[in-house]
Amino acid sequence: MLVKLKIKYIQTLGQKKFREEEGVFIAEGPKLVAELLRADNAIVKEVFALEDWISGNQGVIGKTPVTEITAPELERISQLTTPNKVLAIVQQFDTTRTIETTGKITLVLDNIQDPGNLGTIIRIADWFGVEQVICSPDTADVYNPKVVQATMGSIARVKVVYTGLAEWLREEKTVSIYGAMLEGQNVTSMKKINEGIIVFGNESKGISPELAELINIKLTIPKKGKAESLNVAVAVGVVLGSVSL
Amino acid sequence: MLVKLKIKYIQTLGQKKFREEEGVFIAEGPKLVAELLRADNAIVKEVFALEDWISGNQGVIGKTPVTEITAPELERISQLTTPNKVLAIVQQFDTTRTIETTGKITLVLDNIQDPGNLGTIIRIADWFGVEQVICSPDTADVYNPKVVQATMGSIARVKVVYTGLAEWLREEKTVSIYGAMLEGQNVTSMKKINEGIIVFGNESKGISPELAELINIKLTIPKKGKAESLNVAVAVGVVLGSVSL
């Protein structure tokens, strides 16, 4: 059973302010929760689940505290349109470590607004073996439930750091800074790279002028048809597929 | 002013059954509506808009019938969470023409369920100059408001046809049939193609076994990291970026 106060507490975690104060976030659904329970670096603090999920998942639950709840209770605490058996409170990841850029590809996101885009980009990074995503402070919050959901578990494997991008990139002297722009080198015919920072800009405004100045190599996905733009997550996929494989 | 009956009529167009009976669909927002008004092959039957949109868009409106409405009226007929100045009733496109596959790339979608994915795929096709997308009958409806919105206007330029895929592909003898699968040729290192059918499968189940048998050349986006899968729209972007540019 869930006491009222606990329901209220979980509901407040829909807001960034409370998530930050508590240092936790919400993850939902059997696949995502099981993935987080299995991940080495994710600390699942508490699980709330229907009986059938609990009986089928003893193996992954281990010593994590689990509360059995009813479907109506799940509906009250869930952020999903269609609640799905299980909800977990997970500790936010440590993102204070220094950013190391040599010998790897680092994604940089300048003011990505849409939570679905951010989550999908984290999932794409994970697919292509990109270990870290550096976001401007005005990018969507990685612990927003819609972002968490869209990562499909990759949130446990990709390091996401928020920092002032211009200051950081100005100090970055070791690797090349690439940027996805409207004009630049054809990304589909360039040499593969093993190292570098790749910057992607806001859904409608692109890379801000302040950052654009700091780009060493401009990349472009050539357009053959008439669409005005590509979705930014799709652009990340096309660029990583072209330069990193 | 909008009479009650008209409001009711527009609201019913949220449902596929009524859209089909009427042969129309709904498009919303200044950008999308202006794009459809300008497109050669789109027939906008009627526009409902706030006064400031009408006064600013005389040029694109031409002879299209326009009804000035109030913000509360727009809210009643809109399918968007945040209604945006203008709503248009647009005639469905003619998709009965025979499918011609020589000399071009054709996308085939097998049971794509998510409207956002379908719309994004149509937008990607338009970016890469792919003129036609052939969908299984169980793929999301292209005139679903969420699909229309996600195409960002590309719905006016890309031909979308629904047909039984297995029967059609069995008769297709002129071009190669490629399929995005978990195992196959590395798509990022293969030769560019100018012609062919590329099949993408359902978000969780992939290409159905019946269609998988008909694939001549299997394509794969190699995985370097640990994500279980890529979003299907992102996969379409990576494949088209790799094989068609």
CATH of the domain at A122: 3.40.1280.10
**Residue B50 shares a structural domain with residue B125:** no
**Residue B141 shares a structural domain with residue B209:** yes
Closest chain B residue to A228 measured between Cα atoms? B127
* B117 within a domain of the structure (yes/no): yes
Contacts of A58 (CB under 8 A, 6+ apart): none
pLDDT at A139: 97
**Residue A60 shares a structural domain with residue A131:** no
Q: What is the identity of the amino acid at A244?
A: S
pLDDT at A43: 95
Q: What is the pLDDT of residues B2-32, one digit of tens each?
A: 888 999 999 999 999 999 999 999 999 999 9
* A98 within a domain of the structure (yes/no): no
Q: What's the Rg (C-alpha) of chain B?
A: 20
Contact call for residues B221 and B185 (beta carbons, < 8 A): no
Q: What is the pLDDT of residues A130-143, one digit of tens each?
A: 999 999 999 999 99
Residue B204 to residue B187: CA distance in whole angstroms = 21
**Residue B235 shares a structural domain with residue B156:** yes
Percent of chain A with pLDDT over 70: 99
Among the partner residues B221, B234, B245, nearest to A234 by beta-carbon distance: B234
> At residue A217, what are phi and psi to the nearest 5 degrees?
-130, 120
Q: Please give the residue range of the domain that contains residue B78.
A: 4-91
Percent of chain B with pLDDT over 90: 87
* B82 within a domain of the structure (yes/no): yes
**Residue A28 shares a structural domain with residue A74:** yes
pLDDT at A81: 87
Q: What is the pLDDT of residues A199-229, one digit of tens each?
A: 999 999 999 999 999 999 999 999 999 998 9
**Residue A74 shares a structural domain with residue A117:** no
pLDDT of A245 above 70: no
pLDDT of A1 above 80: no
Among the partner residues A153, A225, A236, nearest to B128 by beta-carbon distance: A225
ipTM of the modeled complex: 0.90
Residues of B with CB under 8 A from a CB of A: 116, 120, 123-130, 152-154, 157, 186-189, 221-231, 233-238, 240-242, 244-245
Query: What's the average model confidence in pLDDT over B231-239?
Result: 97
Chain A closest-CA separation from residue B46 CA (Å)? 24
Chain B closest-CA separation from residue A154 CA (Å)? 6
Query: What's the average model confidence in pLDDT over B228-234?
Result: 94
CATH code for the domain in which residue A13 is found: 3.30.1330.30
pLDDT of A50 above 90: yes
Among B41, B63, B91, the domain boundary falls at B91
* A200 within a domain of the structure (yes/no): yes
Residue B73 to residue B68: CA distance in whole angstroms = 10
pLDDT of B190 above 90: no
> Which of A66-70, A76-80, A188-192, B61-65 comes out lowest in average pLDDT?
A188-192
**Residue B209 shares a structural domain with residue B120:** yes
Among A24, A57, A91, the domain boundary falls at A91
Q: Enumerate the β-bridge partners of residue A90.
A: A25, A44
pLDDT at B114: 96
* B99 within a domain of the structure (yes/no): no
* B173 within a domain of the structure (yes/no): yes
pLDDT at B245: 66
Q: What is the pLDDT of residues A151-195, one digit of tens each?
A: 999 999 999 999 999 999 999 888 999 999 989 999 988 888 999
CB contact under 8 A, A242 and B188: yes
**Apex B28 CA angle, B23 and B235, nearest 5:** 85
Categorize the per-residue pLDDT at B94 as very low, low, confident or very high, splitting at 50, 70 and 90. Answer: confident
Percent of chain A with pLDDT over 90: 87
**Residue A199 shares a structural domain with residue A113:** yes
Contact call for residues A162 and A137 (beta carbons, < 8 A): yes
**Residue A77 shares a structural domain with residue A43:** yes
**Residue B145 shares a structural domain with residue B220:** yes
Q: What is the pLDDT of residues A106-127, one digit of tens each?
A: 999 999 999 999 999 999 999 9
Query: What's the average model confidence in pLDDT over B39-45?
Result: 91
Among the partner residues B154, B229, B242, nearest to A227 by beta-carbon distance: B154
Is the sign of the CA dihedral B119, B121, B124, B130 positive or negative? Answer: negative
Longest dimension (CA), chain A: 59
Which residues does chain B have within 8 Å of residue A129's beta carbon, measured at their own beta carbons?
223-225
- Cα separation values, A25 from A21, A32, A87, A97, B152, Å: 11, 13, 10, 20, 33
* B44 within a domain of the structure (yes/no): yes
Categorize the per-residue pLDDT at B115 as very low, low, confident or very high, splitting at 50, 70 and 90. Answer: very high
Residue B128 to residue B167: CA distance in whole angstroms = 27
pLDDT at A111: 97
Which residues does chain A have within 8 Å of residue B84's beta carbon, measured at their own beta carbons?
none
Residue A71 to residue A83: CA distance in whole angstroms = 8
* B96 within a domain of the structure (yes/no): no
**Residue A64 shares a structural domain with residue A158:** no
Mean pLDDT over all residues of chain A? 94
Among B91, B117, B150, the domain boundary falls at B91
Mean pLDDT over all residues of chain B? 94
Tokens 């993850």 correspond to A27
H/E element, B45: strand B44-49
**Residue A169 shares a structural domain with residue A223:** yes
Domain total of chain B: 2
